[in-house]
Structure 1
Amino acid sequence: MKKRNFKKSIMLLTIVMIMTLLAGCVGGNKSTAPDAGQAAKEPATKASNEVNIYTARHYDVDAELYAKFTEQTGIKVNVIEGKAPELIERLKREGASTPADLFITVDGGILNTAKTADLLQPIQSATIDAQVPADMRDKDSNWVGLSTRARVIVYAKDRVNPSQLSTYEDLATDKWKGKLLVRSSTNLYNQSLLASLISLNGEAEAEKWAAGIAANLARDPEGGDRDQAKAVVAGTGDVAIMNTYYVGRMTVSEDPEEVKVAEKIGVFFPNQQTTGTHLNISGAGLVKHSKNKDNALKLIEFLTAKEAQTAVSKANFEFPVNKEAEMPELLKSWGTFKHQGLDFAVYGELNPKAAEIANKVGWK
């Protein structure tokens, strides 16, 4: 009897030990759960060390600067390129789930479109405020300027004396009939120029001007700004409207023809005695639903600092927004100039009216 009880005791002890071991195994599995959870969080920590850009700018110098920013900070820059209206529609579709942190584009009107669509949020940085003048920033700080370009008159040095040139308005007079070249009115650069003249001179005068431009064209609009310069040198027309940075880029082009064209055209800044030359801007907006806001602000601070601003100006012949930045000799040779001084938001607000006027007067 005692032997049987002893055996039972041994069996019970064995069962207890097995159950204890099993419980230990289960407990062990539970204790690894936090580690697994921690491992699952690691990609999120990695993802936070990045900044995502939706950009309508397509320049080599921009990519070089993003790489330099990553080298200095360890923050990875992810870039999605596209046309500005398409990127704005994408931001609208994505809403709060968008991966975008920054929206970068050319044209103050487009930046204002993003702002009024409630896609941006205020940029708060004392460093940026110190580096970018107030007139190169959105009044509500939803975007800041990165660079500017002026829309000027270029002329054939061998046929036109700059003393013959004066204002945008003068280009619409009979004096230049059959001698003017400009790209299509559907181009944003021209729409913003016309919008600025609506703001400065009123709708009726702006319509007269657009009609005069259409009447004075040496040919139907075709090609981009560089094509207008080439047509001037070829003798198709005597003067053209184009952006300054194209002239600069042509001087260092790998195409020998473009270099020759740049040598044969002069640059004139119109309206220096009146309303000033039309100026447009490239800028960066902080996306409303940015997941990497601090990194985005660091990138804007980097892009508006003296070193990056100098690099953009020298590579792309844009005017820097940071006054401490250095400019290439060509830009320096043009000297200082008076610009319109309009709120860049005007270009977006009056864009529909500008497009309507151009269509009405037959400016193709």
Structure 2
Amino acid sequence: MSRTLTEIQPLDKEMGQKVQAYIDTLTKPPGSLGRLEELAIQLAEMTSEAFPVVTPPGVIVFAADHGVVKEGVSAFPQEVTVQMVMNFLHGGAAINVFSKQIGAAFEVVDVGVAADIHADGVVKQKVRYGTANFCEQDAMTREEAEKAIAVGYDRAEKMIGQGIKCLILGEMGIGNTTASSALLAVLSGQDIDALVGRGTGIAPEKIAHKQEVIARGIEARKPDRNDPIDVLAKLGGLEIAALTGAMLAGAAHRIPILVDGFICTVAALLAKEICSTAGEYMIVGHRSVEIGHSIAVQLLGKKPILDLDLRLGEGSGAAVAFPILQSATLMLKEMATFTSAGISKE
């Protein structure tokens, strides 16, 4: 992790000030494009460019399974993880549709699915066949958590090397809202009842069971709140670890990270815990209806772009929000100034 910590630089605030001044010369009343102006300045600070570019975007979906599904916390069986990976590969999932819409580079990475996937197109980086049930033992070893983080870092770095200008990350893993809720409970110190929602759509009466499972797991594992890798290893998921690593890579390369919903935001919190500067390169794409997401966003210190009652995951909400970022950059690049348009400001 030491290499990552030294690579992530603070935002270029001087560039942000220059872009703010330039925005005020555009043919519009000051501040009239609201958050688009804020986003343009943020993107300039992240990239150190007066006219930042976010195209083409890159989408990476990390897939892995969770041992805690044995506790009956999900509406779907574990086999659905493999089935959804196949759906990604065949182009049939929501994230495929939205990735195509925005012209994104796209890949699916098996970092910990509980079965072998024999199909063309999947990036095979399996650290282990799913996590253990954290009610019974640590979800994974510290070494496995670090290896999964490294997988995410390397995949993001490779895609950045191919020229992508904005990083959108997604996940697939039955049981991962349970793991994410457990992680958030430890990171936030908040009561589990305020964090745990329906996930894939469990019945309301099963939410209490899910809360009890998480409480039992945290009590059994006793993670060290001050050691994000320990928390991740004891309660997390391999795809959550990979998301964390990918976000660290994006920040290290000054690439804007468009954060998806609940699970991705928890991974963003872990990345920020590992290196606080990493959080400066994140923009939250949307507010999920998953109950703990607002708390996670608040901890991250961000304001979501959209609020569309989404709770799918896969990176879908971030991909839908991407055109807003593009609008912010095009405002800078293509709008006339008062001087160039010959318009009086008086």
Task: Give TM-score scaled by structure 1 length.
Answer: 0.25
Task: Give TM-score scaled by structure 2 length.
Answer: 0.26
